Amino acid sequence: MLFSPQQALTRAEFIKMLFSSLNLQKAPRPLGPIADINPDAWYAEWIYSAMINGLVQPDMDGKINPQQVLTRGEMAVLTEGACSLAGRPLMTSDEAISTGKVTFYNNGDGLANGNGYDSATDMILSGFTDALSIPSEYRGSLAVLIANDLLNGNSYKQIGAQAALTRAEAAVIIDRLLSLSIP
């Protein structure tokens, strides 16, 4: 199989990459049946491990959707959670702002209120032109990954929270994560 760097990554593929890279253990057998997971699938133990550890949850239909393309926002949530699970918590947005690690600016996106920003997350995301369109469930984790130099925006100064994560992007994020010195 070729690497195909521009190919989108699935949820199952990224979860396996995270668990393997961070030396997290996989669950030996499924907790019970999940609507869209064959217990004999190559990814079943990885998905169940992510479920047991609270990194993924079934949707309203009881599905995990392991073969669904992973978005950059979902990747951020999974990465932040896996780092904590591995005992390698990332620097928070507040820590990044208070230590001066992250610089920011207001690009007129409306995130700043009259007295400044509502949160460190807003400060960090304010430099991206799509800041207001980032879904709330991804905002905090995306800001944390940016604060830890794990994630950048694209050439249009966008995060692309709902864009598919490519294999190349995932490889870069995992490489940066493994190179990160965490106290």
Looking from the CA of 44 toward its CB, the CA atoms found within 13 Å total 15
* Mean pLDDT value across the chain: 87
pLDDT tens column, 139-165: 999 999 999 999 998 888 999 999 999
| 74, part of any domain | yes
| Total structural domains within the chain | 1
* pLDDT bucket at 17, cuts 50 / 70 / 90: very high
- 99/132 Cα distance (integer angstroms): 25
Burial 67-82 (b: 16+ CB within 10 A, else e): ebbbbbbbbbbbbbbb
Phi, psi of 160, deg, nearest 5: 65, 50
pLDDT of the residue at 183: 57
Judged by DSSP in three states, 96 sits in: helix
| 3, part of any domain | no
| 39, part of any domain | yes
Domain of residue 65: give its range.
11-179
| 4, part of any domain | no
